[in-house]
A and B are shown apart, each in its own frame.
Chain A
Amino acid sequence: MPASPLAVEARDLAKTFRSGWLRRRETAALRGASLQVPRGAIYGLLGPNGAGKTTLLSILATLLLPDSGSATILGHDVVREAFAIRRRLNMASGNASFVWSLRPAEVLAFYGRLYGLHGRVLKRRVSELLERFELVPHLKTEYNELSTGLKQRLALAKALLNDPEVLFLDEPTLGLDPDVSVRIRAQIAELRRERNTTIILTTHYMREAEELCDRIAFIKGGRILAEGSADELKRQIRIGDVISLRLDPAVPAGLADLPGVLAMQTRGDRIDCTVDASDKRLPDVLKWLCDQGVLVRDCQVREPDLEEVFVELSR
């Protein structure tokens, strides 16, 4: 049977968390989420806090059982065949933690053994990962004494121990310095390029999603609201184009009332004027400004960025 072109497929996944003994509280974390991820793709899950991103990722990584719905990883059911697929997947979280007294090589050696690595293969793999993630200078440092960035690099190194075919990354650059984030993003991209690893990542950083992901799903309230490439999403959401202006005087009254103007936002000395279609509205806006005696010092037209799509969808 030919291998499925899909690495991950989820259908109508639902999960409700229940807590409390006397007063039962129920929190619906997922309400029928479905997605398809082709092999070798980087797939982003975006959404506000509590949207269900981590729940979805945890179900796919076999750490959580869904209440209903189904999911397969590389053709294996995540509930019935969890043991079989664990050899072929791995996960790293932004808030990962390991046993505090262990040193980086020991953390990797412990989890490497759990993946069945042994002898020279284990030793070589641990060395490769320590070098790749620049952990060699910290071999004598116990986990709880590592900086946040180093902990994050160790979490990523652990996630690559078994050279996973599917890798889940939950907020991989959370709380990291910009330079460390850039390096981690480069390593994620390299992983797909060199190993054809399918990567599903959750992130709060739109730039990260836009830079890394082939496809992105917006998730909110346990449902996937929109899915597609960054460009497709911008078109799907139809939040219009942005005419960014530098004017003198800065904010002329009445601009927001012009036909086709959807929103206005002041950013420093600029006004971002969101219109339904820039090609249709730009001449009208410029003519109106000219009629009002307003001096246009600069004018730029751009598509909305992913952050604006995110804000629109999160409303």
Chain B
Amino acid sequence: MSSRAELLPPGAGEAWAAEWARLTAFAYRNLIMARRNVFFVFELTFWPGVAMLSHGLLTRFLDLTPQMTAFILVGTVALSAVQVCQLDVAYAVLFDIWSKSMKHQFLTPVRIHHLAVGSWLVGVGRGVIVWALMALIGGRAFGFDFLGPGPLRVGLFLLGCFLTALVIGLLVCALVLLFGTRAETSAWAAVNFFVMLGGIYYPVSVLPGWVQVISAGIPLTYFLDGIRAGYGFPSQFAYPFATGFALTLLYAVLAHWALAAAVTRSRRTGLLLKLSE
């Protein structure tokens, strides 16, 4: 049998390796689940494909210019990429909710960043697949050039989308740990709410004044503005990407804190145990 010292080595190098093992644990599980469940194939191909085709056909019907088509389809891509990526983060908790195994992961020396980073990395991978698939369909069917704004701008846009997904995913995890299974639907609803406020298919200037104030606090507003500027639309903000990333960083810290607080609260109320029964 393995010795205790072998299993829990004290060395600094080993500490890094152990940290890496914890970071990749959720990635390992999400990848297995993604491989084994047909539902995940739908998430990755069917819904994004349907969204791209239906919105692309709508732009045809409305006889939109290539520039306006790009405006709409960028929103479609943003919604799908953020949705798929944030679901992976939320799965870090949802898989355990569904299988009533929540307590086991919090019995281990796992911290919030382990849970978040590992699952997010798989989400980024799946988000890139969604983006590539939508770019392919959009390009072939509607002549839409996703790389038109340049690789740097596209890269920043996708990174912004994925970081937004991380924040939303962490908030969904916090909600589930605060309110239990009743909050499960937030995993699918939250993204739609934020992209609506962020100007998914329209500039935020068309929103009522007070809603625009809220939109100004949503990072996705800036990432959409930044990528659309690459298609020739005048930017509404001075430094859209920089502002978006600064806001995302702030929200990531807050979401991390919120999830840690939710875990502590669930240990106090006993919800952590109820979610395991």
Chain A: residues with CB nearer than 8 A to chain B?
A: 17-18, 54, 58, 61-65, 83-84, 86-91, 95-102, 106, 109-119, 121-122, 124-125, 128, 132, 143, 158, 161-163, 165, 194-195
Contact = CB atoms under 8 A, between A and B. Distances in A.
B104 A158 contact: yes
A206 B101 CA distance: 28
Interface string B261-277: 00010011110110011
Interface stretch (B19-27, B187-195, B210-218, B249-257): B19-27
A63 B2 contact: no
22 contacts: A54-B273, A63-B106, A86-B109, A98-B99, A99-B33, A99-B96, A100-B99, A101-B32, A101-B37, A106-B32, A110-B28, A113-B24, A114-B25, A116-B19, A116-B22, A117-B7, A117-B18, A119-B17, A128-B1, A162-B8, A163-B8, A194-B1
Interface in B72-111: 95-96, 98-101, 103-111
Interface string B105-130: 11111110010000000000000000
Given A83-B111, A99-B101, A113-B25, A118 B18 contact: yes
Given A64-B272, A106-B29, 17 more contacts: A18-B269, A63-B107, A64-B270, A86-B109, A99-B29, A99-B98, A101-B32, A101-B33, A106-B32, A109-B28, A111-B25, A111-B104, A113-B28, A116-B21, A117-B21, A143-B99, A163-B2
A84 B21 CA distance: 17
A110 B29 contact: yes
A124 B105 CA distance: 21
Contacts, number: 129
A132 B7 CA distance: 17
A125 B2 contact: yes
Interface class of chain B by DSSP: helix
Of A61, A111, A113, A195, chain B has the most CB atoms within 10 Å of the CB of A113
A118 B37 CA distance: 26
B182 interface: no
